[in-house]
């Protein structure tokens, strides 16, 4: 979709005719009125001889919205917005906001008209897609979402379904998918259970099993021109079965921990973590480990914890911890040594990185085309992720070389000074930095807007 720029032109003759047609005063002098609107009020400009336009497109859109709230509302404006969203989306939003002054019914009526059917996956038209998108934006901006009636709850759930379909699909541009996810956060992201620590609402709480076995770790400099020396030699490594979270830990999930432990964060933390369904950032390695320990206790004590999760803790000896960099890499690339989660060829629309031009974190799940072979999401881009593995004395040069060796102390969780490995690349990195074999190191007490973490259930001790 391309945004419309500027305002619509109108000829002087058409403008005069229009002014006369709306006036009941036979003495009206339209040329004097046009002169006043142009020279005194500053509402009109004349870019060419005998041609006029509004100074600002927003004013033109507002007037259009005022007119359309009185003309077959809400059906006509909904039809215009769905058929030509580049021209009529803002008008529809303004019309909804204006109609809200007369009562909430008018906002919900327009939302219903914009999005009157649920997505079905096969016959969804571009008009239906944009209807769901604009309806969500309308509710986020103009509706009261407290004490929603039963009828309006059905409308809301339908719109939520559309927003989830939009953000996880590839019909719209990445920036539009991100905005759909942000709107979904405002309306309520039902992928996550707000009554259970905002964990993913499925039987395994969002964890995905990564089967035990061998995989190719590291980079082959003959195959990958971007490969760095600390990624070599490429080698085969065998891991036991483990589980890793489908998404990075979100802001809402981390806030549950903050509230439960009566902690408060700096104002800067809140600036980086505005949306609940984005990956939490601006936390250091110690924060991530503390969250893992806290959540372990909650899951062990709660009677609502799924049986299979409890069994992993109590019977099979699993720990809830950060993934090692080996576990992280296998989850990201599978067994075949691919360069990116989806394969060896870089595809720019499959991740949030520098050239996507999002320039911030994005809601988790906006890049389903970039899933790993195990359907783990966003292992490239969006945020770098802490692992439990040691990088070295500092973040510049690794002391933990390949081949990866479990028994050399590189997974020691007790050391509080050595740099830790971060993986995945973030929204400001190039394609080179988002390769699944790329290794970075960071001081464990460093917190920035591009580093988050995800969870792992591993039989390797977290101690």
What integer best gives the mean pLDDT of the chain? Answer: 93
Record the tokens describing residue 201, joined without a space: 């609402």
Q: Sorting pLDDT into bands at 50, 70 and 90, what band is 461?
A: low
* Residue 92 structural domain: 60-190
User: Within this chain, do residues 177 and 138 fall inside the same structural domain, yes or no?
Assistant: yes
Q: Which residue has the tokens 């802490």?
A: 386
Q: Is residue 1 part of a domain?
A: no
Per-residue confidence band for 21, with pLDDT thresholds at 50, 70 and 90: confident
Cα–Cα distance measured from residue 198 to residue 189, given in angstroms and rounded to the nearest whole number = 10
Give residues with Cβ within 8 angstroms of 283, minimum separation 6.
Answer: 254, 269, 447, 451, 452, 453
**Boundary (domain end) residue, out of 190, 223, 253:** 190
What is the CATH number for 225?
3.90.1580.10
Would you state the pLDDT for residue 4?
45
Tokens of 337: 């040594």
Q: 130 Cβ partners below 8 Å, 6+ apart?
A: 81, 82, 85, 89
Together in a domain, 222 and 275:
yes
Residue 270 backbone phi and psi in degrees, to 5: -70, -30
* Domain-located, residue 125: yes
pLDDT digits (tens, 9 = 90+) for 125-158: 999 999 999 999 999 999 999 999 999 999 999 9
Whether residues 381 and 241 share a domain: the answer is yes
Torsion sign across C-alpha atoms 41, 34, 15, 73: positive
Q: What is the pLDDT of residues 321-335, one digit of tens each?
A: 999 999 999 999 999
Indicate the pairing of strand 451-452 with strand 384-392: parallel
pLDDT above 90 covers what percent of the chain?
Answer: 78
Query: How far is CA 219 from each of CA 71, 96, 153, 234, 436, rounded to the nearest angstrom?
Result: 63, 54, 51, 5, 9
- What pLDDT digit, counting tens, does each position of 256-312 carry? 999 999 998 888 899 999 999 999 999 999 999 999 999 999 999 999 999 999 999
Q: Is residue 450 part of a domain?
A: yes
pLDDT score recorded for residue 290 = 97
Residue 117 lies in a domain: yes
398 Cβ neighbours under 8 A, 6+ residues apart: 230, 391, 392, 439, 441
Give a yes or no: residue 4 inside a domain.
no
Q: Could you tell me if 79 and 112 lie in one domain?
A: yes
pLDDT at 5 over 70: no
In whole angstroms, give the CA distance from residue 178 to residue 430.
19
Three-class DSSP category at 47: strand
Looking at the fold, whether 325 and 177 belong to one and the same domain comes out as no
DSSP 163-211: HHHHHHSSSS-HHHHHHHHHHHHHH--TTEETTTTTEESSTTTTEEEE-
Residues 166 and 260 in one domain: no
Closest-CA residue to 37 (of 26, 52, 27): 52
For the entire predicted model, the pTM comes to 0.91
Residues 22 and 124 in one domain: no
Nearest-CA neighbor of 457 among 271, 208, 158, 91?
A: 208
How many CB atoms within 10 Å of residue 168?
18
89 and 180 fall within a common domain: yes
Q: DSSP letters of 380-447? A: SSS-EEEEEEEEESSSSS-SSPSSP-GGGSTT-SS-SSSEEEEES--TT--TGGG-TT--EEE-TT--
pLDDT tens column, 366-412:
999 999 999 999 999 999 999 999 999 988 889 999 999 999 999 99
* Cα–Cα dist 439/423, whole Å: 6
For residue 11, the SS3 value is: strand
- 403 within some domain: yes
DSSP helix, strand, coil percent of the chain (3-state; round to 5): 40, 15, 45
Q: Do 291 and 410 reside in the same domain of the chain?
A: yes
Task: Note whether 357 and 375 are same-domain residues.
Answer: yes
Residues 159, 35 share a domain: no
* Residue 108 within any structural domain of the chain: yes
Let me know if residue 3 belongs to a domain.
no
User: Structurally, how many domains does the chain consist of?
Assistant: 3
Same domain, 319 and 333: yes
């Amino acid at each position: 979709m391309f945004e419309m720029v500027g305002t619509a032109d109108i000829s002087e003759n058409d403008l005069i005719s229009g002014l006369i047609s709306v006036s009941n005063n036979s003495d009206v002098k339209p040329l004097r009125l046009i002169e006043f609107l142009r020279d005194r009020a500053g509402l009109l400009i004349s870019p060419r001889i005998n041609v006029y336009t509004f100074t600002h497109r927003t004013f033109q859109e507002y007037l259009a919205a005022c007119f359309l709230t009185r003309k077959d509302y809400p059906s006509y404006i909904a039809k215009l917005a769905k058929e030509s969203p580049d021209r009529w989306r803002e008008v529809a939003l303004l019309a909804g906001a204006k109609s809200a002054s007369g009562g909430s019914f008018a906002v919900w009526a327009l939302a219903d008209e914009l999005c009157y059917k649920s997505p079905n996956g096969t016959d969804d038209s571009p008009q239906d897609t944009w209807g769901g998108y604009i309806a969500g934006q309308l509710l986020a901006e103009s509706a009261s979402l407290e004490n929603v009636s039963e009828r309006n709850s059905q409308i809301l759930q339908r719109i939520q379904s559309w927003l989830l379909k939009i953000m996880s699909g590839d019909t719209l541009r990445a920036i539009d998918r991100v905005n759909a996810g942000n709107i979904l956060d405002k309306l309520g992201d039902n992928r996550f259970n707000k009554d259970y620590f905002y964990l993913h609402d499925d039987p395994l709480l969002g964890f995905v099993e990564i089967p035990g076995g061998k995989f190719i770790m590291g980079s082959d400099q003959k195959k990958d021109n971007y490969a760095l020396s600390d990624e070599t030699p490429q080698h085969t490594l065998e891991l036991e079965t483990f589980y890793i979270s489908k998404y990075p830990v979100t802001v809402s999930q981390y806030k549950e921990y903050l509230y439960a432990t009566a902690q408060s964060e700096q104002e800067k933390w809140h600036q980086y973590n505005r949306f609940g369904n984005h990956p939490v950032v601006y936390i250091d390695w110690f924060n991530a480990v503390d969250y893992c320990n806290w959540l372990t206790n909650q899951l062990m004590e709660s009677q609502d914890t799924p049986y299979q999760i409890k069994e992993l803790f109590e019977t099979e000896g699993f720990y809830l911890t950060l993934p090692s960099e080996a576990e992280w890499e296998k989850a990201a690339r599978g067994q075949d040594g691919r360069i990116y989660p989806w394969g060896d060829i870089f595809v720019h629309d499959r991740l949030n990185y520098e050239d996507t031009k999002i320039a911030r974190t994005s809601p988790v799940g906006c890049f389903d085309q970039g899933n790993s072979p195990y359907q783990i999401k966003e292992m490239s881009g969006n945020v770098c992720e802490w692992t439990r593995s040691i990088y070295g004395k500092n973040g510049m040069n690794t002391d933990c070389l390949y081949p990866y060796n479990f028994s050399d102390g590189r997974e020691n969780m007790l050391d509080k000074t050595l740099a830790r490995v971060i993986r995945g690349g973030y929204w400001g990195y190039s394609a080179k930095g988002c390769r699944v074999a790329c290794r970075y190191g960071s001081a464990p007490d460093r917190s920035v807007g591009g580093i988050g973490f995800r969870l792992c259930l591993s039989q390797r001790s977290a101690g």
